[in-house]
Structure 1
């Protein structure tokens, strides 16, 4: 008995197996690779644009080079700063802020060698700004506040209300430098959490600006520590510390 050839479902002779599609030509392969490259480049461009917009209008990364804010912020921490503070979101006592050094608080440092790739990544916000022209401190007094060191118990007072400051570095006194100031309009009085290692408003109260920081020099409010991973978390303003501080009377 002779073997009948396999037939396809429509009755025509065939193998009974699905037919293979013709192999792609080199031209088709090249066109497919080009489309993949264009798709990847499009995604990269969109990511860079979004990163730039976020960095420009919402958040910006900064690097912590000193221990003046320990233990809230440690050396080499990378933080993200909310650029919507102080405008349009109000600045409050207790906020940890990054501000430009326009009063010469920092020593002059030699310029670092240019690195175009790093500068570009910093520009779009993918790397933290390691510029030595910024400082980070905690706002203790805002416009009109009467800030004094210290009361009989060694505490700082704001508008005659003593502060209990849980964010202070362990063992550090609220201040070993006396001061008695009223914060002018458009200024703030700032201090580091590690008071023994912070050259803040206290140290510069007899220099340019009398230790006050211009609100317009504030880049934003620190909201989160993003690096290293074992320190990821929010940066608290400790509103409970200042909740009983009365508004300035205007007559102090």
Structure 2
């Protein structure tokens, strides 16, 4: 069932699994503000039954990043150009970027597990969109790159925190500052990719992972994800307290004693 299909984004739902597809393969799924708004809307449109969300890009590339039209004086039709935004107030610029970021934030919600199925190019905003997800299954032809610095910009769509958490500060800095390509073997070795498979096997590998993720009781997965996401911000003793509280909730629930 398709709940959304506009501006290069399609959301379909099959019981507990949703699929968000980038649907402009002719432009290698290049991104725009309209696409970001559609992605944010997809997050708001998820039924409460959904446990796993798969993000994929149609065609040979996952997403080649921001559409270069954004940097032209005219920008996108009906949108302020980036040059116009730069000339505006600090408040307007901050609010606009915050709106763009909404497309990249909901993927880490505790009540869902998100998987990026990545093939071909995942450049700039495309790389950050893959990083927005909890897990990444990639094809052998994948090419990640953070190209913002080559344009005189910074990665501003939520990608810097997960990238640093996955690969460490020094490697994250090197990847971002040089803008170089990270290919499949390295991506798996340094923790960017959970699994690398031949391109022809990408969909099947993702489906196997989806099946494994929906097998355990939902509330146990939600509590576990929340524990892991919060772990880096807590001390060891604070994490033990959080574990005890979560386990207490699970035990009471299993015993039929929860509110």
**TM-score, scaled relative to structure 2:** 0.24
Q: Which has the higher strand share?
A: 1
**TM-score, scaled relative to structure 1:** 0.24
Q: Which has the higher helix share?
A: 2
- Structure ranking higher on relative contact order (CA contacts 8 Å, 6+ apart): 1
